Chains A and B, each alone.
Chain A
């Protein structure tokens, strides 16, 4: 595959040089482009080169795609042969078409546009890839385990399902405890992140001097740039034991891995997310609303809570929804600090598990790919994708409409 790409690239360069050479031999170097007369070329020789390079490139892309999808039809030796053949054909073809009056530049422009379009199509293809692979694998999972069972079952113990002869296999894939755990950790995280993030945004946009902002903002950005695996380790190494110690000193027994430990560290991770989005939103509220409130003799806090905040509420809701989507999809913190046991509990001081934790623990380790256990990971992934997709789209639409209102 890499070899194929490298060869195509070399072929394109060679083709480009050849095309340029052809054009120069046909119409001369550059001087003629501007001059009138029968020999006047439409395009500079380099465009003839680009054109040929692009012809080869498109053909090679097709071959590479075929090679990628159907290796049985086009194996590596044939790919190389095919590349050589197309390069040769393109060169021969260009011998026929390269003439002074050929509008090579127009062709190149069109090809550039098509290539750029293909670039932006990658983003769409990614989504298609996600949706198709999740649906395809989940469908295979739901052949083995009923959909209703998955969504409403209270018992999650995928380990037992490996041995098909075992009794109780059908009762092992009830995902409710996982959803409950995910929800609980998300709730803990948002209970911490929303007020702190919002207050930071309010303080920075309404109270802080430029100097304070200059100090605080980079700090918050650092908080946003810390990798999640680091937060996870922090929760495991420091926060979990600290909470356990605190609880023990008050006479409770709390495990090191608990919903509260993972949730609170996740809350810290989401603070910068909420604060920077809300900061944008609050700043988008027109200054004349502030002026109006101040001119009536409102204090800053009254202006903020009674005028700016209601005006910014839709945008802030959008920010919170995006935060929730983050919290639900966050993986490393919960994998390291929340535990793996699928407890159905309402107590945040117990270990719970989440969708992402289960996806990781089902797919790491040596598993057969077709077992219900690994396929379950895709079903969970599908649920995760659908929920975050809904949250993201609602949030994006709210924020977009909110921006338009004040523009």
Chain B
């Protein structure tokens, strides 16, 4: 088991009780080919609630997010080193199958990416491949429950057989969240989920994130500091591939310890 205080160099200022801990990250480096994008990050993530990653573009926050579900594996030439423990188990260990890991750690992308299938099939896709349901009625229930949780059910319940790609941008993004929830994950990663949405759709999405935060560990990457302030309980600030500051969201925004954080949130650097 991990003892948190053992590493005095940890950038984390957060103290989490071991039973609240979901991810335990030590000295994670990511490089693409010759270029290192992330230079050794130490960070702990809580079991529930929303953790936000902020920072200027190119700071490595999205790269870091893809560490948690090993999505970097799909990029040719990407290498990840360091230690990432999910519930105490190294997810980069030799006998961990990324397929199972990704079932436990869902992800939502910048651009909504529903499959060119019906709304129903989009949500049912995960349960089907992972064999989560025994019967058609059970699958129907899972689909309905997931769509309800993603606050989309009322809008689409009469047209479940229509193409998912026919929905509006905000609806598509909630469909994708429903799709992720249907797999029964423990963690949901969100990579700038509102960047392609209009303000109204963004507000609905943030509401949804707020509803989901008690049940799931949510990690959200955002370029909007306001959004981080609105939805997250903890915030990590990244700069040039380094984790600069990590603390309760309130503290980061009102009383940052690092001058780089201060410059960023006051708009002096971008």
Contact = CB atoms under 8 A, between A and B. Distances in A.
The reply to whether A and B meet directly (CB within 8 Å) is: yes
Interface of A: 209-210, 286, 288-299, 302, 306-307, 310-311
A311 B99 contact: no
A298 B99 contact: yes
Interface stretch (B4-12, B113-121, B257-265): B113-121
A75 B84 CA distance: 89
B144 to A, nearest CB: 18
A289 B115 contact: yes
B169 interface: no
A202 to B, nearest CB: 16
Interface of B: 69, 71, 74, 76, 99-103, 106-107, 109, 111, 113-117, 125-126, 129-130, 176, 179-180, 183, 189
Nearest to A311: B116
Contacts of B179: 292, 296
B115 A307 contact: yes
A275 to B, nearest CB: 21
B74 A294 contact: yes
A310 B116 contact: yes
Contacts of B109: 288, 291-292, 295
Contact of A209 (B76, B115, B130): B76
Given A291-B107, A306-B125, A310-B117, 16 more contacts: A210-B76, A286-B113, A288-B113, A292-B109, A295-B69, A295-B106, A295-B180, A296-B103, A296-B106, A296-B129, A297-B130, A297-B183, A298-B99, A299-B129, A302-B129, A311-B115
Most chain B beta-carbon neighbours within 10 Å: one of A210, A292, A302, A310: A292
A295 B102 contact: yes
Interface centre among B74, B101, B117 (most CB of A within 10 A): B74
Contact of A295 (B76, B107, B130): B107
Contacts of A299: 99, 129
Contact of B115 (A292, A294, A297): A292
B91 to A, nearest CB: 13
Contacts of A307: 115, 125
B74 A297 contact: no
Nearest to B104: A297
Contact of A288 (B76, B100, B111, B183): B111
A302 B131 CA distance: 13
Contacts of B115: 289, 292-293, 307, 310-311
A290 B109 CA distance: 11
Nearest to B102: A297
A144 B12 CA distance: 93
Contact of B126 (A290, A291, A297, A310): A297
B71 A291 contact: yes
Interface centre among A286, A298, A311 (most CB of B within 10 A): A298
Contacts of B107: 291, 295
Contact of A297 (B100, B113, B114, B117): B100
A237 B99 CA distance: 50
A292 to B, nearest CB: 4
